[in-house]
Structure 1
């Protein structure tokens, strides 16, 4: 059916019983898949894009997935990466993790999911590959909030994916470097994302997608990963032709540039001391569950995928020059500021400022760039503790951009929320299709130019162009 801005939307209700004769089928390189219909959209869940990173493959770059014979049922999500969970009564949990299906986790987690409006090979549809957030500690590609049905109903193929998290995804250690042909360690989660992108570019035509029209999109830590991949070694760059990042960045980070190999491996040794100074083989014998509950990890300059700090690449204009759409929320810091901190200052330092720097340094190359501010306070669900109002908190935009308000049925959504979600999903779909968020039946959106007062699109109770003020950039 047609959306309010002229872009086709999906409708609910399965078309055919799962696995039946009319179920959608696809044949990527590893074997045949049978999925199911979700309204007019075909969905294939739990597709392995790499070998299970277990046993001796823990803390190694991902290896190709094994082939299979016959038809593989692709109706259930694969396991999520091992991870802790935020408190169940927190606004972050209720926004991101309050799913209808049980959370199944495993170290065997390298699976992706595909939603497509037309699974016929060679259809040539644009593709959006979505990377979840979660601070490199939480999240997975099968969360309800990342469901791809509504956006796929607007025309693109949508792919979500898992990658290794925490120490399993990002531990750097001299023992791991000694095993590596480039003396690299860390960034296994980033390498998982590149492996998934490689799989998508190789096989997405079997699901109706165009391998030359892939947009890499994500929020929070996922957005920061996209920024790093724009600066990454050339092996990552051919796999996407546009980028969309929400509420985080890999440049201008509050904690400073990425650590280099020596610093990262020193931190890895300190982490190993928590387990009695185990060497790598000893660490591989420890339960993955025990490993992921300790420490905080993220990307590093490893010498394999990231040869230098992302800030340095963007400062000299050597990043992947693809159309870029980025933005942040009005009250990013409310769920992170301590009682004696100013939430606005925390939000600016951790989210708003780095995103603005990402846009500014990219626009400086003359590459098309757009920036937004999400300004709509979502109506919170019942059952949250009496806390200060989180406002337009970090990740508040997520139910809107993929038009997934119905995935949170206990939230008291209003007509304004539904209209805004439809408009934002239409806009995101247009960017995926064309590399430009504007177009017929959508609000005109001027490009970001980079000075201290720059045009931005504000998505709130009303949708408008306004000035996104920032301090004067340094000379």
Structure 2
């Protein structure tokens, strides 16, 4: 009896030791200690540095390898978010303040040991390349990790800090390029994943990159870059691409804007510009509305991009990987098109004429409207296409034609419910960014909206599609409506994601073919 009790006591003691054992992992730079295993079975590591702080002389330089530390570094707090203005009301941060020192990533893993080789999701946040952070609850990786996926969210430099181009920067660069530092941060994170993710039980050969809005643009950009395309096994794009939204410009054009910016600050040299405080730079860069979106564009710099991305995709030189891609039913409001005018057919026609001149009749034929309700619908469609839907369509279309890989296209149509405590009617359609919490399984962490059983039903279906795709390059699985792939210019079937998800034939190809002509004109 005493022997039995002794064995039981030893077993309980050993189990306690195992439970209490520190969750430590060796990564570039040293040993980190995470938050341990959660009730979901997921282990969490926050605020892992993947590059040196881009401060001082490293401001506006390619991300540099992280420096080693001694001892054990805690990985329980999110790192600081990158310098940014406050412009988007739906952004909620859990980050440790704001700083130029912001190149950190986070890992959620369900793996029991480093011997496992689980699929990996690397997610890039949206925010117009001027805002956003990997700590936002809607990007939390625990729900997706619980489905057998190692999830990584990444910080990258924004605005003037991430995309300033300048002739002096180009001259000092070993690659004779400037700008695109935010995209290079993402590339550095992908390379970090290749070197380190196996320690978390992830498979570096099965890395799917994903993002929404600017994050989706980033995915399309990484696929087109010779620096990154070999690091990717699959891609998910939610609303946006480099083939239209926030498109890349020639380096010389971006350099001219950089020179103007420096002159406005009174900086006569790069050294003087680097001496300007981060706060003053941010203030100067965000004047003029919308936090400076588009002021410091992505550049065709000869290094990250060796040619225009559109040329890369048309030639089939992008990462040839499966792509899951789509956009939402109300990416932009009709109000943006009519600019304060009543939604009458006359006002709608006038707004279209102001935008398209002699080609207005062609637009009105494909976006017709004869009643107030039809005007609202047509103007919403046109505003959404102009803003972001067309560029997403373009990416899906060209990749399906030139990659030899399957493309799975969706149309997300489920509106969010009303906000808690408000009597206002909910949105007519699915607004820009509305799908994120649904796709990543994070409705429960967003208390702003009055979620219903239908919302959780939609989320379950979309998250299952995403998880299947990350695991196998195919969203299909048991209990889900069949989602046909688009292959090689064949018939286009689109998955309409809603309370009752279903496949529909492509309806508006003629619209996008016309917009393609007008944009290229």
How far apart are residue 245 of structure 1 and its match?
A: 0.6
The residue number in structure 2 matching 1:251 is: 243
1:34 maps onto 2:27 in alignment: no
How far apart are residue 270 of structure 1 and its match?
A: 1.6
The residue number in structure 1 matching 2:202 is: 209
The residue number in structure 1 matching 2:72 is: 71
When Rg is computed on C-alpha atoms for both structures, the one with the higher figure is 2
Partner SS for 1:396:
coil
Question: Which of 89, 92, 114 does residue 93 from structure 1 map onto?
Answer: 89
CA distance in 1, matches of 2:270, 2:24: 42
204-213 or 67-76, which deviates more: 67-76
Residues 28 and 241 of structure 1, relative CA distance in 2, 3 Å threshold: same
Q: How does 1:7-46 map to 2 (within 5 A)?
A: 21-36=20-35, 37-39=37-39, 40-46=41-47
- On the 8 A contact 2:484/2:493 being kept in 1, the answer is yes
Structure 1: runs of 5 or more not aligned: 1-15, 87-91
The residue number in structure 2 matching 1:268 is: 258
- By relative contact order (CA 8 Å, sep 6+), the higher-ranking structure is 1
Partner SS for 1:469:
coil
- On the 8 A contact 2:216/2:238 being kept in 1, the answer is yes
1:301 maps onto 2:300 in alignment: yes
Paired residues in the alignment total: 448
Residues 384 and 181 of structure 1, relative CA distance in 2, 3 Å threshold: farther
Question: Which of 211, 216, 221 does residue 223 from structure 1 map onto?
Answer: 216
Write out per-residue CA displacement over residues 33-80 of structure 1, whole angstroms, 9 at most, x where no aligned residue. Answer: 111133210000000000000000000000011112221111111000
Q: How does 1:304-315 map to 2 (within 5 A)?
A: 304-315=303-314
Write out per-residue CA displacement over residues 141-177 of structure 1, whole angstroms, 9 at most, x where no aligned residue. Answer: 1111100000000010000010000000000000101
Write out per-residue CA displacement over residues 77-103 of structure 1, whole angstroms, 9 at most, x where no aligned residue. Answer: 1000010112xxxxx523xx135x466
The residue number in structure 2 matching 1:402 is: 440
Say which structure is richer in helix. Answer: 2
1:156 maps onto 2:122 in alignment: no
1:464 maps onto 2:456 in alignment: no
Q: Provide the alpha-carbon RMSD of the alignment.
A: 2.4
- On the 8 A contact 2:95/2:135 being kept in 1, the answer is no
333-342 or 279-288, which deviates more: 333-342
Partner SS for 2:89:
helix
- On the 8 A contact 1:252/1:311 being kept in 2, the answer is no
How far apart are residue 236 of structure 1 and its match?
A: 1.1
- On the 8 A contact 1:111/1:161 being kept in 2, the answer is yes
Q: Structure 2 length as normaliser, TM-score?
A: 0.81
Structure 2: runs of 5 or more not aligned: 1-14, 286-291, 342-350, 352-378
The residue number in structure 1 matching 2:171 is: 178
415-424 or 195-204, which deviates more: 415-424
Residues 394 and 336 of structure 1, relative CA distance in 2, 3 Å threshold: farther
- On the 8 A contact 1:335/1:390 being kept in 2, the answer is no
How far apart are residue 412 of structure 1 and its match?
A: 0.5
CA distance in 2, matches of 1:393, 1:195: 32
